[in-house]
Structure 1
Amino acid sequence: MSGGDALPEVSLRLLEIFAAMMRCATTVEAAEQLRISQPAVSAGIRQLETQLGLALFERTGRRLVPTAEAKALHAEIRPVFGIMRGFAQRARDMKLGMAGRLKIIATPPLGYSVAPVALRNFLDARPDVSVAFDVRRLEQVRDAVQSGQADIGLAIDRGRHAALNSDILQRSHMVALMPKDSPLAARPHVSALDLAPFPMIGLEAASNLGQLVRSAYESVGAVYAPRIEVRYCATATALAARNLGVTVVDPYSASIHRGEDLACRPFLPACDINAVMYTRRGVPHSGLLLSFMAELRAAVADADLLAPLPAPPA
């Protein structure tokens, strides 16, 4: 192909100046719309005409009148500017956390309690956002965030991890669940010794929370011998709601069956736990992620989960 047959290389900036001139009567008006100088507009039009080898405007006094060729070309490029406006709008929405896709993973206590509340508020205000939401075990939540498979992880945890940012949402403590008609329900708090005579729904010994409860029992000389052993606090809560025994769980799992025939009381010795948000260390938070984190903090703050522990003896 000879040099004369080569397609002209036209920049988006020149097309933007051309489109502004098609909308405006003078170069001064076009310059004001584009927020550039009037000479820059005139120079841009001359450069575009040179590149295309076409006269785009006829000079009539201070006005530029579009030629037939200019009108035809303008019809061709109109969709381009619609795409550009859509691109800019999408980028702005992403920056403000109003568009995009968020990947969330949680352990059951937060995944079945405060996370859905935050997610509902988050999505109601953002119709252009989609979410991938999964509930897994603690180790899988950590791994997913560390590997980048999830943008944020939610869990009950007590430690810190070198590869993850761990932001505490709330400091809380384990609670005891028993039937509302149990004599234990009349007490302001319930100890491991109080629960010992009743059938126990316990957490598996290999879990972090299971080890925490077992240590609390052992510290006061109580025997921790679950009649039913389960993996998740949510499972223990569901079984307790069916009157299969008493249990000690986190307050978020306890809230899932609130309103059923269960009484919830602070458990002693106190088992302190933290609700945390994991994010990948060294990776900036997107506007979308920051927006969800704000909704999550608000959901936790609004949740009425924790009864106060008794004051320690003087």
Structure 2
Amino acid sequence: MTKTKSWHSIPEYQALRALMQAGTTTGAARQLGLSQSTVSRAVANLENRIGATLFERDGGRLRPTQEAVRLNRRLDPLFDALNRIDGPSEPVQETLRLCAPPSYAHRFLISQIGGFLRANPHFFISFDVNTSDEVTRGILENRFDLGITGVELSRAGIKLVPYRLSQAVCAMRPDHPLATRAEIRPGDLHRQSIIALTHRHARRGQLDRLLHQNRAEARIVAEVSTSFAAADLAMEGLGLAIINPFPLYQYRADDLTFVPFASPIRYQSYFVLSDQRPVPRIARAFMRHVRLNTPPDPFSRKG
């Protein structure tokens, strides 16, 4: 026989396999739901294409040749793949690639992730703790599906979904001279010791302007990069910290006194998403879980 090159034909391979199993064209045709002539023509075309005889007649049956046996063995991976395609889909564990800065990550998001995974054991979360800049960069570079940040920014490719709005508070030890106030004004901070956030935080500049406008000369005793660090230093008795109470209030309310700071300073927390890619189902589910399970506090609200 002359070997003719052509495209592979799955119907021809199916006819070969059915004929090897049934031993007759009648049985193979019944197995495939085809006519006998269709099965015979498929096997003849396959023999012509590969240039080999695949069956020999032995009495009333067709006996496969060694070439047919070898070909059928090589076809096993193909039919295994087809069975996987046609069969029930295998469960795929959905993964959420999440990133947040330390002020949200420690304790608050750890608790939220724990509750979410207990309720959804078929999900998986990869959690990275990093700066707000890295949250944004990771979303843009498709390294993360979802971020949480307190930094307002406007960048192409980024979508900010408002999550929580809070007012500024003064956090201090219960024995601090200002701890009994119902409200603290910028002028009240004159000659007070303050733990401040570093100047890379936009609210630091806003605080400096407020103090200047009210002729309040506060004494900056330390600068820190996170609200948690500022609150911890306030617990050490170094002074008071003007910070975003969310989510810190939930974990320091028993140790510190929180007094509203009468100022226009507000903090907006956001979910960070890409506006270039569809939002994964697991990301939507996690955002919904966080919204529903955020404990209330006196200084923040949904928004």
Q: Does 1:153 align with 2:158?
A: no
Structure-2 change in CA distance of 1:47 and 1:263 (3 Å):
farther
**Alpha-carbon distance in 1 for matches of 2:39, 2:298:** 70
Q: Are the equivalent residues in 2 in contact too, given 1:107–1:136 (CA < 8 A)? A: yes
Q: Are the equivalent residues in 2 in contact too, given 1:114–1:296 (CA < 8 A)? A: no
Identical-pair percentage? 19
Q: Are the equivalent residues in 2 in contact too, given 1:146–1:164 (CA < 8 A)? A: yes
**Alpha-carbon distance in 1 for matches of 2:112, 2:300:** 24
**Alpha-carbon distance in 2 for matches of 1:246, 1:235:** 12
TM-aligned CA deviation for residue 179 of structure 1: 1.0
Structure-2 change in CA distance of 1:170 and 1:259 (3 Å):
closer
Residue number in structure 1 paired with 2:26: none
Superposition pairs of residues 1-314 of structure 1, within 5 angstroms: 3=3, 9-10=9-10, 42=34, 50=42, 83-84=84-85, 88-90=89-91, 99-255=93-249, 257-299=251-293, 302-307=294-299
How many residue pairs are counted as aligned between the two chains? 271
RMSD: 4.4
**Alpha-carbon distance in 1 for matches of 2:205, 2:87:** 53
**TM-score (normalised: structure 2):** 0.70
TM-aligned CA deviation for residue 49 of structure 1: 9.7
Look at both structures and tell me which one has the larger radius of gyration over its CA atoms.
2
1:209-238, Cα deviation, whole Å (9 max, x unpaired): 322332332343322431111121121112
TM-aligned CA deviation for residue 184 of structure 1: 2.4
TM-aligned CA deviation for residue 169 of structure 1: 0.6
Structure-2 change in CA distance of 1:79 and 1:169 (3 Å):
same
TM-aligned CA deviation for residue 248 of structure 1: 0.8
Structure-2 change in CA distance of 1:267 and 1:42 (3 Å):
farther
Q: Are the equivalent residues in 2 in contact too, given 1:179–1:262 (CA < 8 A)? A: yes
**TM-score (normalised: structure 1):** 0.68
Structure-2 change in CA distance of 1:308 and 1:293 (3 Å):
closer
Q: Which runs of 5+ in 2 are unaligned?
A: 19-30, 48-53, 56-71
